[in-house]
Structure 1
Amino acid sequence: MGGFVTSPTAAASTKIDAAVLKIAGVVVLGAIMSILDITVVSVALPTFQTEFNASYATVAWTMTGYTLALATVIPLTGWAADRFGTKRLYMVALALFTIGSGLCATADSIGQLIGWRVVQGLGGGMLMPLGMTMMTRAAGPERIGRLMAILGIPMLLGPITGPILGGWLIDDYSWHWIFLINLPIGAVALVYAALALPKDDPKPSESFDFLGMLMLSPGLALFLFGVSSLPETQSFSATRVWLPMLIGALLVIGFVLYSFKPEHPLLDLRLFKNRKLTIATITLFVFIIAFMGAGLLFPSYFLQVGGESTLHAGLLMAPQGIGAMLTMPIAGMLADKVPVGRTVPFAMALIAAGFFTFTQVGTDTSYWLLCGSLFVMGLGMGGTMMPIMTSALKTLGHAEVARGSTLVNILQQIGGSVGSAVMSVILTSNLNESDPVPGSNPPVTEAQLAIAAQHSDQIKAQVPPALFEKGLQFVADSFASTFWVGFALVLATFIPIAFLPRKREKTVAGDDATTGAATPVIVH
């Protein structure tokens, strides 16, 4: 097993020492690159349409290709970490992501850009599960809450700072810089990783599950491809949606049935025998669906109803990040001392309270009210995601950490893709019900005309005020209806939250026979 070994003394200590903070610094740098890249690229899609003279459906593959690469590589990470060691694999992932970023900046066609985005995704997909594995091993069960709170900062702030950074780079420089900015960060992260991470000493004892890989990786990629095609096709009956989803689902189901037979499966579903892990991962999965769906809707409201620029929409999302930064360190400390079942419900109630405001939005809803609601949601998010993740991982033994973090990351990836696709489909479907503009050629709905007029003074000058107001009101009502679905998903998260542990878990340091690592043992 790789070399991030915690002695019983270190595991028992509740102080975050310099050695652990060094590892956390490496992981946070990698997480910032990986997560920011997703949100930064999302705001560049209109620019790609113009630069490469391509349709939105085509340029959207710069996002979809990255996501599919993540889904393909994440299942391999647990085995590869055990086989090659976490330090060298993490450095390979950093290098692959950084090289992919540089290649993206050189693309002179949309096809090349999509291809290089896949290369980026192959590296980016390993960064988060490897980072979680390293931090969990370094911290030990008594400190994992505070360490995961550190890792949670880029996870929560990425969707907020990404649009701000992307809007600034594209407006003041060029789209190439949303990729070039990763080169110096990646170089620093590689040097830092080489110096700060302990030396690997892998002792491979597991064979690679080729049959499992042939089912799980293509299955996840095909399923997410179908889900990602929903916003474009607007129908589950489209062959491009249901066929890959069906084949992907069958492959994943086949893997689930098969995975209990081999001694060392690609994805260790036996970990779900741990009831606390199962409840925590279900809670996290439902929360991610709601969180990622909402994360897509909030800036879209400011862009389409408020008529704000990409940069201003990103800035209006900042209160959410500020709220998360305030509560996340507190939640991290509490996660090490107080059962998450006693703290997460209160944090989730803050999210629900803030989210409810958005179900009432109109064309002239006060930004002060919306930003205040985002701040309240941020307070709740800071006390929700990482404590749940901590609950999922802190009951695992040293030898199970790599597999457990891989499992959690796959569920996050699926939940995020499903949440984004569902919200996009519902919103677009609502907008498409708007009345067509009489005499328009090609046909345009009143809602589409109102959105276009918000971003073009020339178009707005040609649209009768009554028609503009009617179309804009329909857009606002469409967002409000979609926000109700998101609010329902937020409320649904309270169901698994009710089963989170409410009693103090006692951990004692046990010796791992193979590694001498401190293995957390749960006393029931």
Structure 2
Amino acid sequence: MTAPTGPHAIGDDAEDLAAFEQEFSAPTTPGAAAPAGRTPLVIKLLVAATFVVILNETTLVNAVPRLMTDFGISESTAQWSLTVFMLTMAAVIPVTGWFLQRVSTRSAYATAMTTFTAGTLVAALAPTFDVLLVGRVVQAGGTAVMMPLLMTTLMTVVAAEDRGRVMGQVTLAMSCAPALGPAVSGVLLHFGSWRLIFAVVLPIAVLVGFFGFRQLENVGEARKSPISWLSVVLAAGGFSSFVYGLSKVGEGEWTEPALLIGGGVVLIAAFAVYQLVLQRSEGPLMDLRTLKHRNFAVSLVLMSAGFMAFLGSMLLLPLYLQNLRGLSELQTGLLVMPGGLAMGLLGPQVGKVYDRIGSRPLVIPGSVAMVALLFALSRIGTDTPYAVILALHVALMASLATVFTPVFTIGLGDLAPQLYSHGSSLLGTLQQVAGAIGTALLVVIMTNRTEQLAEDGASSADAFVGGLQWAFAAGAAIGLVVIAMALLLPSKVAAPEGAPAAH
């Protein structure tokens, strides 16, 4: 893409119109960077599409009771509508690094949005729960492509000195969308059945996909490379088995989860070793040379710990509000919505500040605040005022915005351009795995502590609160890893050789 060479000139209406048309219609040269202060159109389109597809990862959280009633299934079976989405993401994302290097931007976008739209239609019309699961698998396949596509394209077309601001807009999709999913579904379930969730998303996905494809320009050049099917099998089997095993933790006997988790670890280890072998000859499915870059490796650890605490804690608060405080789905959604909005609105502002002062003045205080707020949430009780809960949740989401935006930027910015797609793929995979680990860990801690207190004679309400407090405290403990990694980050990274620079 050839980016415009400067801001619009101040002149008459004809000149302004010509400048506008040049900005939004000029073809682009692959790898060219947009000038500082302006977000490329390709990024705006991809952010909108990514927000739509990621939102669906958590929209069915509040719909599980409706699914149980409509299909006559148990709660553990209904939870598969959530689990299968996460499993598919974990299995497909490792392949996207190779896929994005092989196809053009427009082809990848069309594949992702067509797949996601087809899955949404299947889910909306599903006559049985099994068909609904098929729709969720297809949806997740499209989502898995869109996330790394956005990150890879951003790193290719945005100059290093302007990435913080643009990455702040990406935070809206990557972090805010999952936080808003339960809130959106809570509102929609107030007006209709669970099918309304898919019915509302379907036309939006069609419009975003159609107009986005018309406006989108190809970025970078596709490279032909063979695919290692053994790598695909090892990655899909390993990551999906590991995540599925984590989802089964705490449901009863430990034999099945232990076997699944252990088998997944073995397959993931075999996948990693095989990628190292492939790096010597042909192109690997996931290039692990990204881990040789110190700042990227530190960012991966930080982001993984952050998502463990973030997604695990995001599950706890709705459980508390609905199971203990008796709030409806709609009331719960409205209570947690301001926090998600705060994260999304702060992302671009945090990015602008990062471009000026770097990461450390943002990430270090933000990670300390995150730990403090999670610890504060571990003190809530059966009658904590809703205003206090709202304030703590909004503050927690705001602190996470100051962490995620700079770390995304500094981590991927440490890589050479040819590793962007592989770095984005690895980052997306570990987000899914870390989220599954955090959710399983905190739920197990909460359940075990609740059962222990109940056996000691505590009331059901007091036992539940005691378990919840321990789970939030565990989230705060995980946050200590985020603080430690934040101290290892530089303020900024120098652009690698071959990376785009501002015109």
| Shared fold (TM-score, shorter chain, > 0.5) | yes
Residue identity in the other structure for 2:478: L
Can you list the C-alpha shifts for 1:262-292, whole angstroms capped at 9, x where unaligned?
A: 1311111111111111111111111111111
Q: Does the residue aligned with 1:287 lie in a helix, a strand or coil?
A: helix
1:146–1:329 contact (8 Å) kept in structure 2: yes
2:51–2:173 contact (8 Å) kept in structure 1: yes
Q: Does the residue aligned with 2:490 lie in a helix, a strand or coil?
A: coil
205 and 107 in structure 1: CA distance in 2 versus 1, 3 angstrom threshold: closer
The corresponding residue for 1:298 is 317
**C-alpha separation in 2, matches of 1:205 and 1:415:** 32
**C-alpha separation in 1, matches of 2:263 and 2:488:** 33
**C-alpha separation in 1, matches of 2:335 and 2:359:** 31
The corresponding residue for 1:480 is 469
1:308 aligns with 2:297: no
Q: CA deviation at 1:253?
A: 0.6
**C-alpha separation in 2, matches of 1:210 and 1:471:** 51
1:398–1:519 contact (8 Å) kept in structure 2: no
Bigger shift: residues 274-283 or 82-91: 82-91
Bigger shift: residues 154-163 or 126-135: 154-163
Please give the residue correspondences for 1:11-90 in structure 2 after superposition, counting only pairs within 5 Å: 13-17=35-39, 20=40, 22-90=41-109
Q: CA deviation at 1:54?
A: 0.3
1:104–1:116 contact (8 Å) kept in structure 2: yes
Q: CA deviation at 1:105?
A: 1.1
Bigger shift: residues 472-481 or 41-50: 472-481
Q: CA deviation at 1:519?
A: 7.1
**C-alpha separation in 2, matches of 1:506 and 1:73:** 31
**C-alpha separation in 1, matches of 2:109 and 2:342:** 31
Residue identity in the other structure for 1:487: A
1:427 aligns with 2:414: no
The corresponding residue for 1:497 is 486
1:43–1:167 contact (8 Å) kept in structure 2: yes
Number of equivalenced pairs: 473
**C-alpha separation in 2, matches of 1:518 and 1:162:** 35
**C-alpha separation in 2, matches of 1:122 and 1:446:** 47
**C-alpha separation in 2, matches of 1:398 and 1:108:** 46
Q: CA deviation at 1:416?
A: 0.8
Identity %: 27
250 and 506 in structure 1: CA distance in 2 versus 1, 3 angstrom threshold: closer
Q: Return the match for 2:274 from 258, 279, 301.
A: 258
Gaps of 5+ in 1: 437-444, 448-469
Q: Does the residue aligned with 2:380 lie in a helix, a strand or coil?
A: coil
**C-alpha separation in 1, matches of 2:493 and 2:406:** 14
Residue identity in the other structure for 2:307: I
1:4–1:198 contact (8 Å) kept in structure 2: no
Q: Does the residue aligned with 2:60 lie in a helix, a strand or coil?
A: helix
Q: Does the residue aligned with 1:383 lie in a helix, a strand or coil?
A: helix
Q: CA deviation at 1:153?
A: 1.1
Bigger shift: residues 94-103 or 200-209: 200-209
**C-alpha separation in 1, matches of 2:219 and 2:358:** 33
Q: CA deviation at 1:411?
A: 0.9
**C-alpha separation in 2, matches of 1:86 and 1:326:** 27
Q: CA deviation at 1:186?
A: 1.1
Q: CA deviation at 1:473?
A: 2.1
Residue identity in the other structure for 2:495: T
The corresponding residue for 2:142 is 123
Can you list the C-alpha shifts for 1:374-427, whole angstroms capped at 9, x where unaligned?
A: 222122111111211111111222222111111111111110111111112222
1:159–1:295 contact (8 Å) kept in structure 2: no
CA RMSD after TM alignment: 2.3
Q: Does the residue aligned with 2:495 lie in a helix, a strand or coil?
A: strand
Q: CA deviation at 1:201?
A: 6.9
Residue identity in the other structure for 2:301: I
The corresponding residue for 2:337 is 318
The corresponding residue for 1:451 is none
Q: Does the residue aligned with 1:365 lie in a helix, a strand or coil?
A: coil
**C-alpha separation in 1, matches of 2:435 and 2:462:** 29
Please give the residue correspondences for 1:441-520 in structure 2 after superposition, counting only pairs within 5 Å: 470-502=459-491, 504-507=492-495, 512=498, 518=500
Gaps of 5+ in 2: 2-27
The corresponding residue for 1:6 is 31
Residue identity in the other structure for 1:6: G
2:371–2:477 contact (8 Å) kept in structure 1: no
The corresponding residue for 2:117 is 98
Residue identity in the other structure for 2:460: G
Can you list the C-alpha shifts for 1:14-60, whole angstroms capped at 9, x where unaligned?
A: 2214xx0x222222222222222122111111110111000111111
108 and 203 in structure 1: CA distance in 2 versus 1, 3 angstrom threshold: closer
2:413–2:493 contact (8 Å) kept in structure 1: no
**C-alpha separation in 2, matches of 1:52 and 1:433:** 34
47 and 518 in structure 1: CA distance in 2 versus 1, 3 angstrom threshold: same
2:172–2:345 contact (8 Å) kept in structure 1: no
Can you list the C-alpha shifts for 1:299-324, whole angstroms capped at 9, x where unaligned?
A: 22111221111111121113323432
**C-alpha separation in 1, matches of 2:400 and 2:233:** 36
Q: CA deviation at 1:478?
A: 1.9
Q: CA deviation at 1:330?
A: 2.4
Please give the residue correspondences for 1:33-432 in structure 2 after superposition, counting only pairs within 5 Å: 33-199=52-218, 202-233=221-252, 235=253, 237-238=254-255, 240-263=256-279, 264-432=283-451
81 and 322 in structure 1: CA distance in 2 versus 1, 3 angstrom threshold: closer
Q: CA deviation at 1:176?
A: 0.7
**C-alpha separation in 2, matches of 1:322 and 1:446:** 41
**C-alpha separation in 1, matches of 2:483 and 2:222:** 42
The corresponding residue for 1:439 is none
**C-alpha separation in 2, matches of 1:120 and 1:63:** 12
1:352–1:490 contact (8 Å) kept in structure 2: yes
40 and 446 in structure 1: CA distance in 2 versus 1, 3 angstrom threshold: farther
**C-alpha separation in 2, matches of 1:165 and 1:4:** 39
The corresponding residue for 1:463 is none
Q: CA deviation at 1:108?
A: 1.5
1:259–1:268 contact (8 Å) kept in structure 2: yes
